[in-house]
Amino acid sequence: MLSKYVKFEMKEFKFKFPSFPNLREGNIKYLITSTNKVRMIVMTDESDNQIKKQLSPWEKNPDKFDAKALFLISFGFFASSAAWSLYNTFVSDALDFLIPTLIIVGFLMTIDNIIGVFVQPMTGNLSDRMKSKFGRRKPFIMIGLPISAISFVLIPLAEKNLVWLLITMFIFNLSMAVWRAPVISLTPDFCPPKFRSKGNGIIVFLGAFGSIFSFLVGGILIDINPFIAFGLISVLMFIALAVLMIGVKEPDTREWDFTYLKSQKKISLFGSVKDLVSEKDKSPLFMLLAIFSLFVAYQALESMWTIYATDPSIFNLTRGQATTSLTFVALPVMLFAIPAGIIAKKITRKKTIILGLIICSTVVFIANFIKGEENMNIMNFGIFPIFGIGWSLILINIIVMIWEMAPTAQHIGTYTGLYYFFSFLAAILGPTILGAFMDLTGRGNLFIICAVFLVIALILMLFVKRGEPTDLSEEEQTARKKAIEEAR
């Protein structure tokens, strides 16, 4: 984000910006990052034009909220949410039938997250500097999404054979990991920082609609024929691919110069975490630890719910009924997606997330004491909707705060990858921890440990000091806005 011109002689500074090796004498612009670091760039007519070409879509019009682009991007989230929702409820129950202990079932349900921990940060980082006529993010979507859709429909055919089930699970999870971080990164590419909570509300709205569709329609079809349920979601994934490829217009990056990013010290996953630990401001680290803790709870609940709800001593539901009941979580998430962004604008993102964590931890604790088929309506019309509202307040704003903490716009993909690293690490440990806990204490104690991790996330959020759209000073915001307008 460029702020202003200042004239200097080349011989005075002997400065050479690595992205533009043939710079001549000219002007210098300051590049002010979200961490208030200042980078000097020698500008010439040639290099200035290059800078203009390399603006992200939102930088070309930083005061515009492009609802159409975000709506089209949301189709990627719709497909992803629909697929994961049906996958988690169906596969956990299939594994429970084939494997006698829940700790192993819980571990196998983390295959997607084990893959994601390694693949997501890599694809996020690569998509920051991908050269192609389709843009930076689309090449990963073009490869990963079709393979995901094809392997997804094969899962119910392998339900009775553990080896084939594990093979199809691996292919599906690997291909999903290829395109997940890049499709997430499209949102900050197209949405100016001040609109990102609102924009993410649209994204989560359609993503939650995908979950609702999967829980409701897929839940009904699973009891009839699982292959039909998975086939329907697979078709929707191909439709989402078409919408993303045709509707979302990424800039052609074949002539973009990423020398600056490539010339920097190579950003590794663990190197990024190490840098966060060593920084004086620990806000990004506390934020990522909070993300880890809250996703331990959420992923454990999602992956184990079908096993819990179908137990004759707890709720005694069918597999389809257990799946359909989760509609009462997804529906309020969808309905509150946009209001959650508006609330964050009024009271700050941090306070909105804390409010959501208070709501979720409270109702999860209460849920542990509700048992019996006759009490399922309390879950469906009380516990689940309230939890969904609280989760919406968290989900809409948490990744937006991570985006705001990224040093530059070019590092958003890397920070998206870090977000997924911590959430996937949580998803690896969550089901395994909960499975072991349920093996030791009984299946009826699903919610207790989840409430503990939600409270830990709440405490960690209290130490987060950055992530709001006003972290730059008023002078720096004005200068940055003016320079972007000049660059256009």
| 8 A C-beta contact, residue 222 and residue 323 | yes
Q: Which of these ranges, 206-210, 288-292, 393-397, 482-486, has the smallest mean pLDDT?
A: 482-486
> Which tokens hold the place of 230?
């998975």
Residue 470 buriedness (CB in 10 A; 0-12 / 13-18 / 19+)? exposed
- Strands 2-7, 27-32: pairing is antiparallel
26-40: average pLDDT: 42
The pLDDT, as a whole number, for residue 377 is 93
For the residues of 130-195, what is the DSSP string, one character each? ---TT-SSHHHHHHHHHHHHHHHHHTGGGTT-HHHHHHHHHHHHHHHHHHHHHHHHHHHHHS-GGG
Give the Cα separation of 191 and 361 in Å (integer).
31
> Which tokens hold the place of 446?
């699903």
- Select the highest-mean-pLDDT range: 200-204, 271-275, 358-362, 422-426: 358-362
pLDDT tens figures, 227-273: 999 999 999 999 999 999 998 888 887 877 766 555 555 555 566 66
pLDDT tens figures, 81-126: 999 989 988 898 889 888 888 888 888 888 887 888 788 778 888 8
Which of 126, 410, 133, 138 lies closest to 247 in space, CA to CA?
Answer: 138
199-217: average pLDDT: 84
Edge-first strand listing for the sheet containing 38-43: 2-7, 27-32, 38-43
For the residues of 39-67, what is the DSSP string, one character each? EEEEE-HHHHHHHHHT--GGGGSTT---H
Judge whether residue 186 has pLDDT over 90: no
Q: Which of these ranges, 54-63, 267-276, 387-396, has the smallest mean pLDDT?
A: 267-276
- Residue 6 parent element (H or E): strand 2-7
pLDDT tens figures, 44-58: 444 455 555 566 777
Helices (H), 54-110: 67-98, 102-108
Secondary-structure class of domain 57-249+268-474 per CATH: mainly alpha
Residue 110 main-chain phi, psi, to 5 deg: -100, 5
Band of pLDDT at residue 27, cut at 50, 70 and 90 = very low
Q: How far apart are the first and last CA of the chain?
A: 12
Q: Which of these ranges, 71-80, 116-125, 142-151, 449-458, has the smallest mean pLDDT?
A: 116-125
| 8 A C-beta contact, residue 23 and residue 47 | yes
Which of 352, 363, 345, 386 lies closest to 461 in space, CA to CA?
Answer: 352
Other residues' Cβ atoms within 10 Å of the Cβ of residue 258: 16
Give the Cα separation of 258 and 260 in Å (integer).
5
**Tell me, what DSSP letter sits at residue 445?**
G
Task: Name the more confident of 356 and 218.
Answer: 356
Kindly state the percentage of the chain with pLDDT values over 90.
25
pLDDT tens figures, 315-327: 999 888 888 898 8
Give the Cα separation of 326 and 322 in Å (integer).
7
CA distances from 306 to 48, 84, 163, 298, 446 (A): 57, 14, 22, 14, 11
The pLDDT, as a whole number, for residue 38 is 40
N residues, the chain:
488
| 8 A C-beta contact, residue 447 and residue 364 | yes
212-239: average pLDDT: 90
Per DSSP, the three-state class of 279 is coil
Give the Cα separation of 397 and 401 in Å (integer).
6
Other residues' Cβ atoms within 10 Å of the Cβ of residue 370: 15
Residue 30 main-chain phi, psi, to 5 deg: -90, 140
Per DSSP, the three-state class of 473 is coil
Judge whether residue 372 has pLDDT over 80: yes
Cβ neighbors of 68 (< 8 A, separation 6 or more) are none
Region(s) of the chain under CATH 1.20.1250.20: 57-249+268-474
pLDDT tens figures, 399-446: 888 878 776 665 666 777 788 778 878 878 888 888 888 888 877 888
CA triplet 300, 347, 210: central angle to 5 degrees? Answer: 40
Mean pLDDT score of the chain, rounded to an integer?
79
> Which tokens hold the place of 386?
């309230």
Cβ neighbors of 178 (< 8 A, separation 6 or more) are 119, 123, 140, 143, 144, 147
Strand partners, 2: 31
Quote the radius of gyration of the chain (alpha carbons, Å). 23
Provide the Cα torsion 426, 427, 429, 432; round to 10°. 160
Judge whether residue 475 has pLDDT over 60: no
